[in-house]
Amino acid sequence: MPPPREPSGAGSRGTAAAGTLPVTLRFTHPQLDALAAALEGEDGARLISWLHALGGGEAAAPDAEPQRQAAIRSGLVDPSGSRFTPLGVVAYHSFREFRLWEERGRAMPHLAEVPELAAESFRGRDVLEVGSGFGCNLITLGSARRVIGLESELVYCQLSPLLAAAAGRPTPTIARGVGEELPFPDQSFDSMLCLSALQYMEVEVALAEMYRVLAPNGVLVLTLKHLAGFLRTKASGFRLTRSPKAHARDAVSYTHLRAHETAMNISYAVFCL
């Protein structure tokens, strides 16, 4: 498959103008160095647990002072060590995602509800995840031929190599960009994921871009709470049906659309070209 195109400026079709994406928060180099050191070995697991507890409003362990100081040096919490900084608020989502990934045995999410997400489904395929976060799904799909993430939040991209190293996995490939302007050639991927991220995009534009870069016989898996209602509300002209063999005749021309409401209140749709 062709490699991703280099950004060539805002507005060009299929190009994520990464250089123009707003950067409101980012780690400094000293903060990243401090965080990388703090995430090494068992200390890393303790720090992630401490951050997870702080984010959940839980009481810190009495011997957690090293984690508190590491979080202060990394810019994640204020000097009191009791409140997240604005940077820490954003970064917390990656630490929480990492913790949940560990708790489910480093597997893909929602496997009981969405069998199409089983890692073996992607063996030998070229995979793109739109809205990949720091990349926990990317480092799970080791059997794929090629796995690339797309993420607009710089903080998540900065955390990616650190958390991958903490997990003992190679750093995933993540391009910085947006779902409405994918920086990849037409028909570049035969599998695509967009898991609980579609609500942050211009839905019709993003779906059209996903359709553009999806190869013939490719598969796109979307998940979102109440996906059916969300698409009906947000994507005018995008008709969603619950019939397993039905056809969706809409702006992005997907066929064989299947959508399900699951027991865990997670909706998913599988599109096959």
Overall residue count recorded for the chain in this entry: 273
Is residue 244 over pLDDT 70? Answer: no
pLDDT digits (tens, 9 = 90+) for 33-59: 999 999 999 999 999 999 999 998 887
pLDDT at 74: 98
CB distance 181 to 164 below 8 Å: no
Q: What is the pLDDT of residues 100-135, one digit of tens each?
A: 999 999 999 988 878 888 999 999 999 999 999 999
Per-residue model confidence (pLDDT) at position 124 = 96
Would the pLDDT of 93 be above 70? yes
Instruction: State the pTM of this model.
Output: 0.80
Q: What is the per-residue pLDDT for 245?
A: 29
Q: How far is CA 59 from the centre of its chain?
A: 29
Q: How far apart are the first and last CA of the chain?
A: 17
Does residue 153 surpass a pLDDT of 90? yes
DSSP-assigned beta bridge partners for residue 137 = none
Mean of the per-residue pLDDT values of the chain:
79
Residue among 23, 25, 22, 48 at smallest CA distance from 35: 48
pLDDT single digits (tens) 155-183: 999 999 999 999 999 999 999 999 999 99
Q: What is the CA radius of gyration of the chain?
A: 19
**Banded pLDDT at 192 (limits 50, 70, 90):** very high
Query: Is pLDDT of 11 > 60?
Result: no
